[in-house]
Structure 1
């Protein structure tokens, strides 16, 4: 029987292992604790909802189901933006702040009459200029005016991507928007066409019983298909000439596996430990680049680390402004003394403590600072709730340009070609997107299981 070692990781790693276990491949789990999402999860292309529904469904027709795993959309709150000395609702059915009706009352309240009429010129510009601009900020400036970009668009883009709209590409922020421009003949008309797709893709989703419970159910599901916990602690993994992996535990015991699954952090930790223990403990340097410098898997993994990361912070607050109604979110940008822009979202739910969520700029990996809590409190006119603790995490930044996305994809594809029995999982190598990780990894797991079960070469 073929056997695979799951080194550990998050939902995508365990989902890939589940795809193997379901067809009889023996899976051993080095770390049975699932690393769970640390920021709200968007529905994206539907892969996340499909996995949740799969784990919720019974294995056999007459077996028990697990309703706690079923996908549940999180309520979408109305968003208030700050302009003209107060808070006013973001235009209805807007896409990244782009208003579908520039002369609507909501636009006039935020932009003023002059700003709204400037935005309306978008409807009068020639069709020939549509769909040519790839930079989102430049596109909004040219069609709707800088006032729309600064007031309506920038807060959403900075919150979503950690960069200003002039540093983001249209196709990465809103897939299909350029095509909608051509069909509609205006940017505001394109937003109208895109809204339903945008809302579905950006809908926050979670398991009915929460992510902690889903992690437990995912491990239980693996166990039902025969998965077991790896006895001991993995010390090193060595790729042997026949393509199998020799795995040594901390006591020196050796086992061989047909494939490995793990997130970048798990694989790198094992590689680093092994490299310190013995000079031959990781794959042979058999792949040479154009300059004839050989690169090992260890070097390939180092090149795959996220180029940019973002910090997120959250804590309870009190003293929410009177014009921020219960059940609404208030979104604003906070400029720090160092010239950085952070997004700040007040989440005010009736009957519960209000929360302030800060999302930082995309920074080179390794550069970490402190969230601007005092600046945010002062700017928004709120206070930190008594005893409230600031939770703080750092994760991979979303891709805002094709170049960044393509570099990461090429690095992943290089490892997949050179090490076909290694499934490298995790959102960190997919711009922090769980849906994108699942969309790539689950087909890779199916291909591997066909190989391991003898269906294909």
Structure 2
């Protein structure tokens, strides 16, 4: 396995469970990828994913197998808010509408919708109910669809903040079939975009929830690491894979195959080099390889290993996303003034962050652990723009995050209240949901499938979130098992 994120660990474990010998190579010094931990002021907090979508049930099944089912918890149902430009250069906030999908309202004239987009915006959005559906089943761009059916106010105030927060992408670039599967068909059935949204919301109520793990999602990584050790999986951290080539090696004695077999040679070097020490290369051979590394690493290795695939030139550039976590002494936040957090509309004066999660308000277990302290987490980095935290020192980032949190939460926070801060950067956030990306992924998967003994997985091909990543990784492992495990044992 190349890459020790959740996808790589799940695939490794699934292969090891049937007796295959597995080695995991991870560039970082820890496993977990986008599911990690950060220690702040005596609290162990999530530095990446803090929840999972319940759709499909695959993540819940994995947690059951890992003995964590009893620690699965629900978040505070209070919901999130939207922070947006107010009158005369002020900052305004309002609860996000309860009945919507990706910010598209099912009831354009609802009080909660009008609070955000006003009567004029709501009246324009209601025209969707009166306009015929002319392009049945043909909408591709989320942004273009919303703009044409409901107008700019819904797009700018409701849809764009959610698109940036969830997918780190502009809604014009998001593939409707990926981010809202079935919406084209639902619009056709119901005769309007808002009607289609309402239809899908009713249909998906049972599978649309998110849940977490008491103590944090990083406990999933701990459980996977323990299982890898139990099944004797070799884990090599701080190892950057630099080469993947097909080579011939001597066949095991007694096999009638001409004395040689083809395998993959995987080359790696220490990723944390000591300038005074010559790095020692790592060389491994394997019949099967799973690339579960980030996009730029995997694409580079595939370009070297798969002759039928040309290049990554047409792939979109990755977004740069950074999370900043604050632990503060702020009694006024105990009332959760913005529910479980807020998304931030573009152009909100004096706010650089694109989203804030009030983690100690969202999760009861964290509120108990934090006591009188409050934990908030801010997200930075919008699609198509440089990350605003680039080049800033940790102290400068903490000061900016504190100012942003004050504006978003509507509570004065100053440096005297700050007990600890930490930052986590994701520089290779490639959205699976942008227009054309499904076709690029399919072409890549077809090329890889024609090459024996190589699989690819991870969020850059599977989609956003554990509910997409886990089943995709399991499918990759099952294909290897199908090739390698026979009625007579491991081939």
TM-score calculated relative to the size of structure 2: 0.70
- Is 1:80 equivalent to 2:102 in the alignment? no
Q: How does 1:248-259 map to 2 (within 5 A)?
A: 256-259=285-288
- Over residues 419-441 of structure 1, what are the superposed CA-to-partner deviations in whole Å (9 max), with x where a residue is unaligned? x3233343344455443333333
Deviation (angstroms), 1:145 = 2.4
- Over residues 309-338 of structure 1, what are the superposed CA-to-partner deviations in whole Å (9 max), with x where a residue is unaligned? 23132233669799972634232224499x
Structure 2 residue corresponding to 1:260, chosen from 277, 289, 299? 289
Deviation (angstroms), 1:155 = 1.7
Alpha carbons 2:352, 2:388 under 8 Å: kept: no
Residues 14 and 212 of structure 1, relative CA distance in 2, 3 Å threshold: same
- Is 1:204 equivalent to 2:210 in the alignment? yes
Q: How does 1:16-415 map to 2 (within 5 A)?
A: 16-30=11-25, 33-36=30-33, 37=35, 38-43=48-53, 45-56=56-67, 66-67=68-69, 71-82=72-83, 85=87, 86-128=92-134, 131-196=137-202, 203-228=209-234, 239-241=246-248, 242-246=261-265, 256-264=285-293, 287=307, 307-316=317-326, 325=337, 327-335=339-347, 343-345=354-356, 347=358, 349=361, 352-353=373-374, 355-363=376-384, 369-370=388-389, 373=400, 376=404, 380=408, 383=413, 385-394=417-426, 395-415=428-448
- Over residues 37-61 of structure 1, what are the superposed CA-to-partner deviations in whole Å (9 max), with x where a residue is unaligned? 22345425443233222322xxxxx
Deviation (angstroms), 1:170 = 2.1
Alpha carbons 1:305, 1:429 under 8 Å: kept: no
- State the alpha-carbon separation in 1 of the partners of residues 210 and 454 from structure 2: 31
Alpha carbons 1:136, 1:166 under 8 Å: kept: yes
Deviation (angstroms), 1:72 = 3.9
- Over residues 162-189 of structure 1, what are the superposed CA-to-partner deviations in whole Å (9 max), with x where a residue is unaligned? 2332332322321111111111112211
- State the alpha-carbon separation in 2 of the partners of residues 237 and 410 from structure 1: 20
- Over residues 196-232 of structure 1, what are the superposed CA-to-partner deviations in whole Å (9 max), with x where a residue is unaligned? 5666666434344533332222122233334355799
Unaligned runs of 5+ in 1: 1-5, 57-65, 273-281, 290-294
Residues 35 and 416 of structure 1, relative CA distance in 2, 3 Å threshold: farther
SS at match of 2:22: strand
Alpha carbons 2:31, 2:237 under 8 Å: kept: no
- State the alpha-carbon separation in 1 of the partners of residues 99 and 336 from structure 2: 19
Alpha carbons 1:100, 1:191 under 8 Å: kept: yes
Root mean square deviation of aligned Cα: 4.3
SS at match of 2:106: coil
Alpha carbons 1:81, 1:87 under 8 Å: kept: yes
Alpha carbons 2:147, 2:155 under 8 Å: kept: yes
2:274 corresponding residue in structure 1: none
SS at match of 2:19: coil
Residues 306 and 213 of structure 1, relative CA distance in 2, 3 Å threshold: farther
Deviation (angstroms), 1:398 = 2.1
1:62 corresponding residue in structure 2: none
Deviation (angstroms), 1:15 = 1.1
Residues 329 and 103 of structure 1, relative CA distance in 2, 3 Å threshold: same
- State the alpha-carbon separation in 2 of the partners of residues 357 and 231 from structure 1: 29
TM-score calculated relative to the size of structure 1: 0.74
Residues 307 and 40 of structure 1, relative CA distance in 2, 3 Å threshold: farther
2:255 corresponding residue in structure 1: none
Alpha carbons 1:157, 1:163 under 8 Å: kept: yes
Alpha carbons 1:9, 1:425 under 8 Å: kept: no
- State the alpha-carbon separation in 1 of the partners of residues 333 and 219 from structure 2: 35
Residue-pair matches, total: 418
